[in-house]
Structure 1
Amino acid sequence: MDFLISFKYIALGDIIILLTFGPITVVYSYMAQAGHYSIYPIFYALPLTLNTEAILHSNNTRDMKHDKSVGILTLSILLGKQYSYYLYCILIYSPYIIIIYIMINISWYCFLPLLTIIYAYRLCEEFKYDQLIKLPNRTALLNFLFGFLYILSIIITNIIQKEQQFLF
C-alpha cells in the first residue's frame, strides 16, 4: 500500500508554493548570507511570491476540468471559476500595492514595476473572458518583467540613496 500523497491532490499545492517560494527560501537565503534573521526580506520578496502563485493558480484554473476528472483537488476547483478569477486578480494586483508602499516609504525610484500594470490588467481580462490556454505563460512573463524592473529599481535606489532605509 502506497501512502505517498501529492499536495496537489488535497488542495495544498498553492500553500506549499506560496511558502516555499516566499518566506522559506528567502529567509534561509538571507540568513545564510547575512548570518542573522530579518523580516525585511520576506516583505521585499512578497510581490514576486504573489506573482509566482498567480502563475500556479492560472495553470490550475486552466486545467480544472482535467484535474477534477482524475481526482486532483486544487484551490481552483474548490473556489470555482468566478472566485478563482477574483483570487487571480488579487494575486496580480497586490504586488503593485506593495510597490506603492515601498515608493512612499523608501524611494520614488522604485516606481519601475508599475510600468507593467497595463499588462497585468490585460491578464485579468484574459482570465475573465476564459482565455486560459496561454495565461500561465503570459503570467510568467509578467513575473519576469515585474521582477526585472523591481531589481533594477532597487539597484537604482541603492546607487542614488546614501543610506539604506527599511520599510518599518
Structure 2
Amino acid sequence: MAMPASDSARRETNRLGWRVWWLGARPATLVAAVGPVLVGTAVGVRETGTVRWFPFLAALAAAVLIQIGTNYANDLFDYLKGADRPERVGPTRITARGLVTVGEMQRAVALTFSAAALLGLYLVWVGGWPILLIGLASIAAGILYTAGPWPLGYIGLGDLFVFIFFGLIAVGGSAYLQSDSFSGFALIAAVPVGALITAILVVNNLRDIETDRAAGKQTLAVRIGERATRWQYALLVGAAYFVPILLVLQGQGGLALLLPLLTLPLAVKLVRLVLGGTSGPALNRVLRRTGQLQLIFAVLFAIGLLW
C-alpha cells in the first residue's frame, strides 16, 4: 500500500534535517546578494581610500539574510496562491512539497527578516536615516514580491524591482556605508550588477512561463512571450559588458576595469544556450551558471575599481 504523501514528505524532512531549510533558501540564488555589496563597497573605498570592515561585513550578512527571507517568502506565498503546481520544473519548493508546514515557513520568514533587521540597526547607526529607508524598503520588497493583493512578481514588475533593489539600491547603499555619500559613479557601476542579477530572474521566469501562465502569474516573461524573453536575457548580459568599456573610454578608470571581460566566454555560451532554445529543466543549469557569472563578474569588477 502506498504511503500518504504527507507521511512521505515528513520522512524526507526527518532525513534531511536542517538541510531542508538550506534547500528552501535556494543557495544558487544567494550569490545575487553578494555581488552588489562587493561592487558598492569597492566604489566607496575607491572614493575614500579606506575600508570600513564592520559595515562591509554587516551589510554582506544582512543582504544574504534578506535574500534568504525573500526566498522563504516566495516559497510560502507561491504555495498559498497556487503558483507552485505539480508540473513545475524548477528547484524544489519545500512548502508545496510538504517538507515544512505553512506555520513553520511563516516563522522562518519572520525570523530571517528579523535577523536582517537587527544587523540593520547597526548599519543605521553607521549610515543614518538613508540606510534605514533602504533597509525597510528592501525587506518590504522581499515580502511584497509574492505577497499582498498586487504582488510584484505576479503583475510583471519583478524584473524592474530586481534591477532597482539588487542594482541601484544595493550598490548605492553599500557605497554610502563606506563614503557617507551617494554618487553618480555608484549608480553607473550598479548597472552591470543589476543587469546580470535580473538575467537570473529572466531565466527563472523563462523556464516557468507555462506553469506561471496556468497559475495566473503574469510575470514579464508571460506578458511578452518566450522569444522576447530570450532576447531580454541577451540584452541584459550585453549591457553588463558595455558599462566597464564605457567607463574606460570616458577615462573614469584604468584598463583594470576591463577585468570582467575575462568572463565573456561564459557569457557568450550562456546567451547562445538561451537564444538557441534551451528550455525546461535544462534551464536550471543555465540559471546556476548565470548566478556564477554574476558573482565572478562582480568580484573582477570590484578588483578593477580598486586597482
Matched AA of 1:154: L
Displacement of 1:121: 0.8
Q: Which of these residues, 166, 177, 202, is aligned with residue 57 of structure 1? A: 202
The match for 2:292 is 141
Q: Which of these residues, 41, 45, 50, is aligned with residue 186 of structure 2? A: 41
d(CA) in 2 for partners of 1:133, 1:19: 24
Matched AA of 1:125: R
Matched AA of 1:101: L
Query: Kindly tell me: are residues 133 and 25 of structure 1, through their superposed partners in 2, closer, same or farther at Cα, counting changes over 3 Å?
Result: closer
Does the alignment pair 1:118 with 2:269? no
Root-mean-square deviation (Å): 1.7
Does the alignment pair 1:16 with 2:167? no
d(CA) in 1 for partners of 2:275, 2:158: 23
Structure 1: state its 5+ residue gaps.
158-168
Q: Which of these residues, 237, 243, 251, is aligned with residue 98 of structure 1? A: 243
Displacement of 1:153: 1.9
d(CA) in 1 for partners of 2:260, 2:176: 26
Q: Which has the larger radius of gyration?
A: 2
Residue pair 1:59, 1:135 contacting (<8 A) in 2 also:
no
Deviations 1:14-44 (A, max 9, x none): 1111111122233333334322332211111
Does the alignment pair 1:128 with 2:267? no
d(CA) in 1 for partners of 2:165, 2:288: 20
Displacement of 1:151: 1.5
Query: Kindly tell me: are residues 79 and 142 of structure 1, through their superposed partners in 2, closer, same or farther at Cα, counting changes over 3 Å?
Result: same
The match for 1:29 is 174
Displacement of 1:63: 0.8
Residue pair 2:197, 2:294 contacting (<8 A) in 1 also:
yes
Residue pair 1:46, 1:95 contacting (<8 A) in 2 also:
yes
How many pairs are equivalent? Answer: 155
Query: Kindly tell me: are residues 141 and 32 of structure 1, through their superposed partners in 2, closer, same or farther at Cα, counting changes over 3 Å?
Result: closer
d(CA) in 2 for partners of 1:34, 1:133: 38
d(CA) in 1 for partners of 2:228, 2:201: 15
d(CA) in 1 for partners of 2:174, 2:256: 25
Greater alpha carbon shift after TM alignment, 20-29 vs 141-150: 20-29
Residue pair 1:11, 1:73 contacting (<8 A) in 2 also:
yes
d(CA) in 2 for partners of 1:145, 1:3: 35
Question: Percent of counterpart pairs with the same letter?
Answer: 28
d(CA) in 2 for partners of 1:58, 1:3: 24
d(CA) in 2 for partners of 1:77, 1:64: 6
TM-score, normalised to structure 1, is 0.85
Displacement of 1:3: 5.5
Structure 2: state its 5+ residue gaps.
1-146
Displacement of 1:125: 1.0
Greater alpha carbon shift after TM alignment, 104-113 vs 136-145: 104-113
